Amino acid sequence: MTATQERPAEQVEREIGKDRRRKEDQRLITGRTRWTDNITLPGMLHLAMVRSPFAHATITSIETEAAKASRNVVTVLTGEDLADTQGVLINAWPITTDQVAPTHLPVAIGRVAFAGEVVAVVVARTAAEARDAAELVDVNYDELPAALDLKEACAADSNNGVLAHPDLGTNKSAFWKFDSAEAGTGGDVDAAIEKARGDGIVIEREYRQQRLIPAFMEPRSTVVDPTGEQITMWSATQIPHILRFALAATTGVPESKIRVIAPDVGGAFGGKLQTTPEEWIVFAVARRLGKPVKFTETRSESLMTGHHGRDQWQKLTLSAEKDGTVTGLKVELTTDLGSHVALLGGGVPVLGAFMYNAIYKFPAYQFNCQTVLTNKTWTDAYRGAGRPEATYAIERIMDELAVEVGVDPFAIREQNWITHEEFPFTSVCGLEYDSGNYEAATAKAKEVFGYDELRAEQKQRRESNDLVQLGIGISTFTEMCGLAPSRVLGSLNYGAGGWEHASVRMLATGKVEILTGASAHGQGHETAFSQIVADRLGVPFEDVEVLHGDTQIAHKGLDTYGSRSLVVGGEALVLAVDKVIERAKPLAAHLLEASVDDLEFAEGRFSVRGTDQGLGIAEVALAAFAAHNYPEGTEPGIDAEATYDPINFNYPHGTHLCAMEVDTETGAVKMRKYVCCDDIGNIINPLIVAGQVHGGLVQGIAQALWEEAVYDDAGTLVSGSFVDYLLPTAADTISFEVEHTTSPSLTNTLGTKGVGEAGTIASTPAVVNAVVDAIRHLGINDIQMPCTPERVWKAIHAKDGGGDKPTEGAAMPHFDASEPGTDSTEGAGQ
């Protein structure tokens, strides 16, 4: 690790920076896990969903008698039956005040707007019996034309094209714009482009961010028990606090009567950052029947109805001087919301709005985004949420600029990036990047990668017309995370704040209980937070217990997403711990019969300066508990809590290098090497950080090479199982070389930056840049993602000598369930 700033000398770190093995693992490796689907309660009933096979249709009739008569079925409920109790699903971030959003009922009434939408719910004593009965529910539909193509949907209105929701008269939901000239943070981009057309360079490109599926390994599951004083919901969610709030806000049940628990959650990646129809249905049915109810989705249901990610067309116009100095960037996005505006739906592209300019000193910048409704599954956050899209676009187009100017792609970046000396730097969007060192990260990455050697090999392969060509892809990314300063969220019309909360309880026996509002689902918070507390409070790592994920225990929080848990949650924790020390000081002084000003606190001990007298923090905690002897006018207690609202976003950065081999005979691509040097500020646990980077890398690489949610002309998801939605295995991926430089954050005490999404944000353009770089000499400047062998091969062998024509993939799945176009409820729900 290359430290570019020294840590404060007085902070003794025994735990922070250490490769502590995780506390979470003992249970997880022995199968003593607590997934929501494990939960069994007395008298618990099971649900099966009857789902629309059609993307858009009116429901003409629902016949439930046969299903109701099926073995051990309790009841079958339609949307009409649940109309009064099911509530509604809300969008918590209307990005404009005039945003158009169709009402989203958990169970559809009258019309379905996406394939997979729930039209009826079967309640039975076992899941198998519920499923059997679901097959007997007879639903008749009148199929309607479905709005499927994003560009066509954008252009449609009541007279032309197909509307996803006919009564809305449009598919356009909201138009959001940022202009640096208007904002006063930069120049006029249109003028810059105009000028460049005359005496500079203008590069115009259109890129496709394909639709992805978060595909966490644990299918979603919800259990609701209405039999207690409070209604308890367990759900495989990453947002238990937000879920509780939303349930209260939309169902009329008082917030204090709702308890939400996220037990062990098996991965989320933004895909469980949602308020879902299934959760609302389980809640409504449990309340109605007065009995515990469970619903666990199948993988097919998950891929089809769990919210999808990305799905944008990106038009970019970049202007530069003839020498490659950038002068302006204009971004025009058309983004697919799916059938309804999800919890953070329209906001995801906006989260990327300030990142297209990235690490470069653009003097003028404009971002335009039109969000569009279609009859597909709704979209929302997926790892990176808006920032991978931004980084992809800018890192791809910077390579294009390099080619245009005729320089190495690193040279064009170095020419335009913010130099180390220029930090803190206010970007053309008005964001202040606190710290960074692109030069150091790049130098390190290049060295470990063997950049010069690989360029030499590339040259040799080109000259000898090797059937296997080599490409090198670069991605010098930054991102904005640590969501988020609440005032900024307010100014963006986001429905909640961005603070985080921590409570520290000093138990009488010397143990420490931490309550955090963060909600881990694999990130190792229990371990990392224990390390922080151990160092700060001077208590043994093993003595710290971290509680989370239960609104009745860790009562206050805004949950986990946007790489915020360490930088925001960790900061709240630090503040709370510091308050504990402050509260303990007078009690310690009193007990030591010394003046508060003579006390020092170090490594868990209060000592009287100049003497060997002292008290450990655990002794002070016990004294507080006993309360036999404490200063008058104070409370007998040293517990403390803190709510921290970040003052800025957080700006990790990194340089990623990818070497890809392209088999020009088949179009197959193979990753040869991947090196990254990420600067995420100070590192609490290097092991956990490396894991986050590895996992993020593979998801970003998978977008580049394998994943795509594909719909056929009828609006059915044809990549609806893991047979067709391709996730890589260990056999498809390589080992990575992960390095770090350290530019501590200036905006939080620990100097940390977020890392959870960084790998995903950076890697996709690194991979695609490499594939394009391998075959650019054949006249190709783009391959649409995912870079399938067919697309690569067709680009190489296209009759017009190459180019960026996207290819159509015919949409037949390998494992075809039913004849398309048949009106049948068979297979309508799995």
Partner 1 sequence: MTKIELTVDGASVSDDVEPRMLLVQYLREKLGKTGTVIGCDTSNCGACTVHLNGRSVKSCNVLAVQCDGAEVTTVEGLSQDGTLHQVQESFRECHGLQCGFCTPGMIMQSIDLLNENPNPTEEEVRLGLEGNLCRCTGYHNIVKSVLHAAGASTGSTTESQEVSA
Partner 2 sequence: MIPTQFDYVAPTSIQDALAALAEHGDDAKIIAGGQSLLPVLRMRLNAPEMVIHLGKIDSLRAARDDGDAIVIGAMTTHHDVLHDPLVNEHAALIAKAVEHLADAQIRHRGTFGGALAHADPAGDLGAPTLALGAEFVIAGSGGTRTVTAEDYFVDLFETAIGEDEILTEIRVPKHTGWGVHYEKFVRVVHQWPIVAVAAAVKSNGSTISEAKIGLTNMGNTPVRARGTEAGLAGAELTEDGVRAACDRAAEGTNPPSDLNGDADYRRHLATVITRRAVLKAAHV
From residue 762 to residue 801, the character string flagging contacts with partner 1 as x (rule: CB under 8 A) and all else as - is ----------------------------------------
Tally of CB atoms within 10 A around 820: 14
Complex with partner 1: residue 129 or 399, whichever CB lies closer: 129
Are 555 and 515 in contact by the 8 Å Cβ rule? The answer is yes
Are 385 and 563 in contact by the 8 Å Cβ rule? The answer is no
Task: Select from 504-512, 559-567, 623-631, 681-689 the region that touches partner 1 (CB under 8 A).
Answer: 681-689
- Tell me which DSSP letter residue 566 carries: I
- Whole-angstrom distance, CA of residue 411 vs CA of residue 422: 18
Site residues for partner 2, 92-121, by CB under 8 A, read: none
**Which stretch of DSSP H or E encloses residue 606?**
strand 605-608
Give the shortest CB-128-to-partner 2 separation in angstroms: 5
Are 688 and 801 in contact by the 8 Å Cβ rule? The answer is no
Q: Does 820 bind partner 2 (CB under 8 A)?
A: no
- Whole-angstrom distance, CA of residue 467 vs CA of residue 483: 47
Among residues 414, 345, 405, the alpha carbon closest in space to that of 380 is found at 345
- Whole-angstrom distance, CA of residue 300 vs CA of residue 282: 19
Backbone phi, then psi, for 813, in 5-degree steps? -70, 160
Residue 738's binding partner out of partner 1, partner 2, none, with CB under 5 to 8 Å set by partner kind: partner 1
- Whole-angstrom distance, CA of residue 43 vs CA of residue 46: 10
Q: Does 815 bind partner 1 (CB under 8 A)?
A: yes
Give the shortest CB-180-to-partner 1 separation in angstroms: 37
What's the length of the chain? 830
- Whole-angstrom distance, CA of residue 740 vs CA of residue 722: 34
Candidates 323, 722, 777, 826; binder of partner 1 (CB under 8 A) is 722
Give the shortest CB-253-to-partner 2 separation in angstroms: 31
Residue 155's binding partner out of partner 1, partner 2, none, with CB under 5 to 8 Å set by partner kind: none
Beta bridge partners of 207: 314
Task: Select from 186-194, 210-218, 558-566, 583-591 the region that touches partner 1 (CB under 8 A).
Answer: 210-218
Give the shortest CB-728-to-partner 1 separation in angstroms: 8
Q: Does 699 bind partner 1 (CB under 8 A)?
A: yes
Residue 132's binding partner out of partner 2, partner 1, none, with CB under 5 to 8 Å set by partner kind: partner 2
From residue 125 to residue 144, the character string flagging contacts with partner 1 as x (rule: CB under 8 A) and all else as - is ---x----------------
Residue with tokens 């505006």: 341
Candidates 15, 37, 81, 132; binder of partner 2 (CB under 8 A) is 132
Residue 790's binding partner out of partner 2, partner 1, none, with CB under 5 to 8 Å set by partner kind: partner 2
From residue 704 to residue 723, the character string flagging contacts with partner 2 as x (rule: CB under 8 A) and all else as - is -xx---x-------xx---x
Q: Which residues, 6 or more positions from 239, have their beta carbon under 8 angstroms from its beta carbon? A: 262, 272, 273, 274, 275, 519, 559, 560, 561
Alpha carbons within 13 angstroms on the beta-carbon side of residue 704 total: 33
- Whole-angstrom distance, CA of residue 798 vs CA of residue 104: 45
Residue 289's binding partner out of partner 1, partner 2, none, with CB under 5 to 8 Å set by partner kind: none
- Whole-angstrom distance, CA of residue 357 vs CA of residue 760: 18
Give the shortest CB-225-to-partner 1 separation in angstroms: 18
Helix, strand, or coil (residue 79): helix
Beta bridge partners of 426: 432
Range 216-234 burial, b when 16+ CB lie within 10 A, else e:
bebbbbbbbbbeeebbbbb
Q: Does 44 bind partner 1 (CB under 8 A)?
A: no
Are 700 and 762 in contact by the 8 Å Cβ rule? The answer is yes
Residue 30's binding partner out of partner 1, partner 2, none, with CB under 5 to 8 Å set by partner kind: partner 1
Residue with tokens 């995370």: 481
Are 311 and 717 in contact by the 8 Å Cβ rule? The answer is no
CA angle 748, 750, 754 (to 5 degrees): 75
Complex with partner 1: residue 510 or 686, whichever CB lies closer: 686
**What does DSSP say about strands 293-296 and 45-51: parallel, antiparallel, or unpaired?**
parallel
Backbone phi, then psi, for 320, in 5-degree steps? -150, 160
Candidates 150, 242, 683, 772; binder of partner 1 (CB under 8 A) is 683
Residue 666's binding partner out of partner 1, partner 2, none, with CB under 5 to 8 Å set by partner kind: partner 2
Candidates 23, 51, 131, 548; binder of partner 2 (CB under 8 A) is 131
Candidates 11, 33, 419, 552; binder of partner 1 (CB under 8 A) is 33
Are 13 and 535 in contact by the 8 Å Cβ rule? The answer is yes
Q: Does 31 bind partner 1 (CB under 8 A)?
A: yes
Percent helix, strand, coil in the chain (nearest 5)? 30, 25, 45
Alpha carbons within 13 angstroms on the beta-carbon side of residue 412 total: 24
Give the shortest CB-488-to-partner 2 separation in angstroms: 40
Among residues 9, 709, 679, the alpha carbon closest in space to that of 338 is found at 709
From residue 454 to residue 493, the character string flagging contacts with partner 1 as x (rule: CB under 8 A) and all else as - is ----------------------------------------
Residue 447's binding partner out of partner 2, partner 1, none, with CB under 5 to 8 Å set by partner kind: none
Candidates 647, 726, 746, 778; binder of partner 2 (CB under 8 A) is 726
Q: Does 790 bind partner 2 (CB under 8 A)?
A: yes
Q: Does 324 bind partner 1 (CB under 8 A)?
A: no
Residue 33's binding partner out of partner 1, partner 2, none, with CB under 5 to 8 Å set by partner kind: partner 1
Residue 28's binding partner out of partner 2, partner 1, none, with CB under 5 to 8 Å set by partner kind: partner 1
Q: Does 789 bind partner 2 (CB under 8 A)?
A: yes
Are 305 and 51 in contact by the 8 Å Cβ rule? The answer is yes
Tally of CB atoms within 10 A around 413: 25
Candidates 686, 789, 809, 820; binder of partner 1 (CB under 8 A) is 686
Candidates 28, 411, 467, 553; binder of partner 1 (CB under 8 A) is 28
- Whole-angstrom distance, CA of residue 725 vs CA of residue 710: 8
Residue 135's binding partner out of partner 2, partner 1, none, with CB under 5 to 8 Å set by partner kind: partner 2
Q: Does 759 bind partner 1 (CB under 8 A)?
A: yes
Q: Does 35 bind partner 1 (CB under 8 A)?
A: yes
User: Residue type for 237, please?
Assistant: T
Site residues for partner 2, 285-314, by CB under 8 A, read: 298-300
- Whole-angstrom distance, CA of residue 196 vs CA of residue 318: 9
Complex with partner 1: residue 9 or 731, whichever CB lies closer: 731
Helix, strand, or coil (residue 541): helix
Candidates 61, 217, 421, 822; binder of partner 1 (CB under 8 A) is 217
Complex with partner 1: residue 37 or 773, whichever CB lies closer: 37
- Whole-angstrom distance, CA of residue 254 vs CA of residue 376: 33
Residue 524's binding partner out of partner 2, partner 1, none, with CB under 5 to 8 Å set by partner kind: partner 1
Candidates 135, 336, 639, 739; binder of partner 2 (CB under 8 A) is 135
Peptide bond into 484 cis (omega under 30): yes
Are 638 and 580 in contact by the 8 Å Cβ rule? The answer is yes
Q: Does 634 bind partner 1 (CB under 8 A)?
A: no
Complex with partner 1: residue 146 or 755, whichever CB lies closer: 755
Complex with partner 2: residue 102 or 820, whichever CB lies closer: 820
Binding residues (CB under 8 A) for partner 1: these are: 1, 19, 21-22, 24-33, 35, 37-38, 128, 215-219, 264-267, 269, 298-300, 521-524, 683, 686-691, 694-699, 721-723, 727, 729-731, 733, 735-736, 738, 740, 759, 815, 830
Binding residues (CB under 8 A) for partner 2: these are: 127-128, 131-132, 135, 298-300, 665-666, 668, 705-706, 710, 718-719, 723-724, 726-729, 731-732, 788-790, 793-794, 809-815, 817, 826-827, 830
